Amino acid sequence: MRKERTFAMIKPDAVQRGFIGEIISRFEKKGIKIVAMKLVAVDRNLAEKHYEVHKGKPFFEPTIQYITSSPVVAMVLEGFNVIEMVRAMTGATNPQNAAMGTIRGDFGQFIGRNIIHASDGKDTASFEINLWFSPQEIAQYSRIDEQWLTE
């Protein structure tokens, strides 16, 4: 397994509903390392860049409105196979289809209010990390439990 990084964003609905701690806690308990994190009032420019692959789709404008409506918590997560692992913890894009036990399955109801975003692949992760964070904002450190997480 490769050590990699992914980008995750706790969306405005989850921040407003008080789920920041719950969501971060799930990543911490899984042993995933948080290497960067910040609360961001997202402007239209950043939102459009983040969702540029969806430009022209019917949900593009409502999604921009949603993401810019209230602050989000952006983070970079690090670990072995972390891109796939975080996607699994996040659940299906539509909370109606997301399994119970996943973040969207447990806390969401509507696709337009789906709690969290997580990068869907290696290229997306790299694009999103560079879009949201400067290299100086990403910390390199060891967690004391690392030797107990790996074989």
Pick the binder of ligand CMP from 5, 87, 104, 117 (CB under 6 A).
117
Based on the shown chain and the rule CB under 6 A, indicate whether residue 114 belongs to the binding site for ligand CMP.
Answer: yes
> Pattern 67-106, binding to ligand CMP, x per CB under 6 A?
--------------------------x-------------
Reply yes or no on whether 117 is catalytic. yes
CA 33 to chain centre: 13
- Contact between 110 and ligand CMP by CB under 6 A: the answer reads no
Catalytic residue (one of 36, 103, 117, 118): 117
Neighbour count for residue 114 (Cβ, 10 Å): 25
Owner of token pair 């894009």? 93
Residues near ligand CMP (CB under 6 A) are: 54, 59, 63, 93, 111-112, 114, 117
